[in-house]
């Protein structure tokens, strides 16, 4: 239980000088506890009296102790740095508040909330003066054309983005502290500041216009077929007096009846021929139009998927860039500074940027006046669309 509490404290606290004005809540879930315990088992030991020892290879050094206080809190003090952590309501690994003291009279506390709850939104920066208008519109056809022309988006480990075509960098975008991006043209060297809030992607109506035009042509063809049918009827009426109707002598009823039958048969024949021709022509054109409409719908669906995929990539890129900034703050504030041989120190730091938070544990050992070694372990929380991850690093330094 004591080991769990200590691990939770190391996983939950944050660096007071950096975060005191911007963070008042801490996210802790089962994965945080599990990973913190694994890190604790690899680097620390606790005896039955609550004494805490740091393990570095075969070297084990006492660094502090865990105390059960009368007010119901549990505290842990690092004697090597003077820092201390106090945890309120420890119950089966669940805590409601963590307090951090840097040993110099400066302290800060944070409420622990469920992982699915969002921390209190950060207040706007007092120096922020971002003009959100006018909004620049980017058409989906322009995006598709850029993809077809061979332009690719590449993001490096530091979170910087660049646009590449045929192996040549066309532009580089670097995120600034106020959320804007500095964009450098790879061909001219021209620099500009871009705010993502000033950009809107709109769907142009080229495909929809093509669909409407095809429907209009379909209706036009049907109207032309109707006119041809009407002209055929008029032509028959014009010709029936000479080609079909023959003179009848006297009052020969039989001859009249035969003439009527001949006229009726010829009328039915010509009407059937004209109607069949008009129907076949209109049906062929309608089939071709339906095929075009189906092709257009398929192209529109494919374009929508490409737009969604590109939007998802941009969201992941923004999350990853926030994670890089948060991890940088956490690792920087977790690494102790030593000044004489034989000294060993450790630190804990936390960083936050956008929707990402990071927690880091750092240690340093001054081997001699010239040589020193450092290590750090960093945990980055899950963002809006990116996964959480654990990273670590070691280093050696030599002073000339």
Q: Is residue 106 part of a domain?
A: yes
1 and 119 housed in the same domain: yes
pLDDT in tens, 354-372: 888 999 999 999 999 889 9
121 and 212 housed in the same domain: no
Please give the average per-residue pLDDT across 212-223, as a whole number. 72
20 and 123 housed in the same domain: yes
Which residues is 364 bridged to in the sheet? Answer: 345, 374
Higher-confidence position of 261 and 93: 261
Higher-confidence position of 83 and 2: 83
Q: Is residue 182 part of a domain?
A: no
What distances in angstroms separate CA 93 from CA 8, 33, 97, 163, one per listed residue? 8, 8, 12, 47
122 and 24 housed in the same domain: yes
Q: Is residue 359 part of a domain?
A: no
With cut-offs at 50, 70 and 90, classify the pLDDT of residue 247.
very low
Q: Is residue 366 part of a domain?
A: no
Q: Is residue 286 part of a domain?
A: yes
Q: Is residue 56 part of a domain?
A: yes
Q: Are 362 and 335 in contact (CB under 8 A)?
A: yes
With cut-offs at 50, 70 and 90, classify the pLDDT of residue 23.
very low
Residues 6+ apart with CB under 8 A from 312: 385
Q: Is residue 35 part of a domain?
A: yes
With cut-offs at 50, 70 and 90, classify the pLDDT of residue 120.
very low
State which of 302, 323, 349 marks the end of a domain: 302
**pLDDT value at position 117?**
32
For residue 207 the two structure tokens come to 């495909």
Please give the average per-residue pLDDT across 35-47, as a whole number. 67
**pLDDT value at position 187?**
80
Count of structural domains within the chain: 2
124 and 225 housed in the same domain: no
Higher-confidence position of 29 and 283: 283
Please give the average per-residue pLDDT across 156-171, as a whole number. 75
> Is the predicted pLDDT of residue 220 greater than 60, yes or no?
yes
4 and 103 housed in the same domain: yes
3 and 122 housed in the same domain: yes
113 and 18 housed in the same domain: yes
118 and 8 housed in the same domain: yes
State which of 104, 128, 152 marks the end of a domain: 128
With cut-offs at 50, 70 and 90, classify the pLDDT of residue 27.
low
> Is the predicted pLDDT of residue 249 greater than 60, yes or no?
no
Q: What does the H/E/C string look like for the chain?
A: CHHHHHHHHHHHCCCHHHHCCCCCEEECCHHHHHHHHHHHHHHEEECCCCEEEEEECCEEEEEEEEEECCCCCEEEEECCCCCEEEEECCECCECCEEEEECCCCCEEEEEEECCCCCCCCCCCCCCCCCCCCCCEEEEHHHHHHHHHCCEEEEECCCCCEEEEECCEEEEEEEECCCCCEEEEECCCCCEEEECHHHEEEECCCHHHHHHHHHHHHHHHHHHHHHHHHHHHHHHHHHHHHHHHCCCCCCCCHHHHHHHHHHHHHHHHHHHHHHHHHHHHHHHHHHHHHHHHHHHHHHHHHHHHHHHHHHHHHHHHHHHHHHHHHHHHHHHHHHCCCCCCCCCEEEEEEEEEECCEEEEEEEEEECCCCCEEEEEEEEEECCCCCCCCEEEEEEEEEECC
pLDDT in tens, 125-148: 333 333 333 445 566 677 677 777
State which of 302, 335, 368 marks the end of a domain: 302
**pLDDT value at position 347?**
92
Please give the average per-residue pLDDT across 165-185, as a whole number. 78
Q: Is residue 370 part of a domain?
A: no
* Whole-angstrom distance, CA of residue 169 vs CA of residue 46: 54
Domain that holds residue 56: 1-128
């Amino acid at each position: 239980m004591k080991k769990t509490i200590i691990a939770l404290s190391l996983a939950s606290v944050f660096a007071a000088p950096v975060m005191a004005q911007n963070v008042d809540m801490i996210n802790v879930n089962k994965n945080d506890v599990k990973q913190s315990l694994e890190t604790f088992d690899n680097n620390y030991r606790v005896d039955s009296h609550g004494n805490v020892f740091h393990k570095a290879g075969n070297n084990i050094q006492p660094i502090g102790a865990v105390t059960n206080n009368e007010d119901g809190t549990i505290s842990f003090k690092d004697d090597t740095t003077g820092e201390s952590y106090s945890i309120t309501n420890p119950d089966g690994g669940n805590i409601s508040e963590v307090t951090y003291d840097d040993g110099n009279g400066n302290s800060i506390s944070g409420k622990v909330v469920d992982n699915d709850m969002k921390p209190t939104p950060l207040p706007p920066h007092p120096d922020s003066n971002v003009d959100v208008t006018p909004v620049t519109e980017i058409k989906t056809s322009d995006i598709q054309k850029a993809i077809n022309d061979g332009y690719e988006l590449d993001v490096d480990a530091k979170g910087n983005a660049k646009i590449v075509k045929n192996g040549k960098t066309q532009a580089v975008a670097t995120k600034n502290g106020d959320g804007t991006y500095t964009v450098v043209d790879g061909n001219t060297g021209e620099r500009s500041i871009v705010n993502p809030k000033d950009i809107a992607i709109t769907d142009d109506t080229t495909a929809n216009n093509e669909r409407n035009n095809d429907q209009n042509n379909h209706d036009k063809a049907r109207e032309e077929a109707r006119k041809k049918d009407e002209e055929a009827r008029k032509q028959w009426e014009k010709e029936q007096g000479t080609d079909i109707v023959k003179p009848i002598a006297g009052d020969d009823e039989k001859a009249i009846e035969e003439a009527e039958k001949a006229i009726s048969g010829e009328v039915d024949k010509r009407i059937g021929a004209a109607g069949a021709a008009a129907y076949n022509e209109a049906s062929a054109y309608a089939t071709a139009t339906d095929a075009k409409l189906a092709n257009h719908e398929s192209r529109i669906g494919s374009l929508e998927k490409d737009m969604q995929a590109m939007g998802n990539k941009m969201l992941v890129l923004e999350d990853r860039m926030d994670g890089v900034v948060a991890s940088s703050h956490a690792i920087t504030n977790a690494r102790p500074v030593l000044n004489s041989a034989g000294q060993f120190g450790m630190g804990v730091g936390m960083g936050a940027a956008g929707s990402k938070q990071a927690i880091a544990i750092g240690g340093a050992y001054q081997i001699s006046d010239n040589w020193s070694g450092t290590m750090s372990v960093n945990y980055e929380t899950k963002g809006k669309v990116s996964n959480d991850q654990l990273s670590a690093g070691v280093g050696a330094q030599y002073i000339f």
